[in-house]
Amino acid sequence: MTLFIPKNHSFFAHFINKNTLELNIQDRVELEQLRLHLSISATDYEDEVIFDGTTKHRIPKGYGENDWTVEYKGKPMGTFRHFKKNNWHDHHYIFNLYEYEGTIKCDIKIKGPDEDKATLTISVN
């Protein structure tokens, strides 16, 4: 008997694909002012809220262009793209927010099969 699990079905992906989010906030940064959004090309996931200042939401799966947008105090800090090569790859997304010389900065690291080895820094005044 062959068991077929459709990898593009969000119900199964929620239980099988376990992407995780870690937020590290320095003292002067207000966590409730942070918003994270994700859009995945060629899927139904457009501008999905991943973090809304108080609650972490599930990170949908999807291979290809995963575009993240970081907002702080209602202002966009920047957008970055994580290219995932496979629907089944799980990733751990780490966002480190801190203040540096009067500017809020966000370093992002991605751990997993398609990890981003570079650290991206985006900022808002």
Residue 50 to residue 90: CA distance in whole angstroms: 15
The predicted model gives 102-107 an average pLDDT of: 88
Reference 37, options 8, 63, 76, 10; nearest CA is 76
Residues above pLDDT 90, as percent of the chain: 53
Work out the mean pLDDT of the chain and round it to a whole number.
Answer: 84
Domain ranges of the chain: 23-124
- For 28, 91, 98, 104, the CA distances from 19, given in Å and listed in that order, are 28, 5, 24, 26
User: How long a stretch of residues is the chain?
Assistant: 125
pTM: 0.82
Residue 118 to residue 125: CA distance in whole angstroms: 23
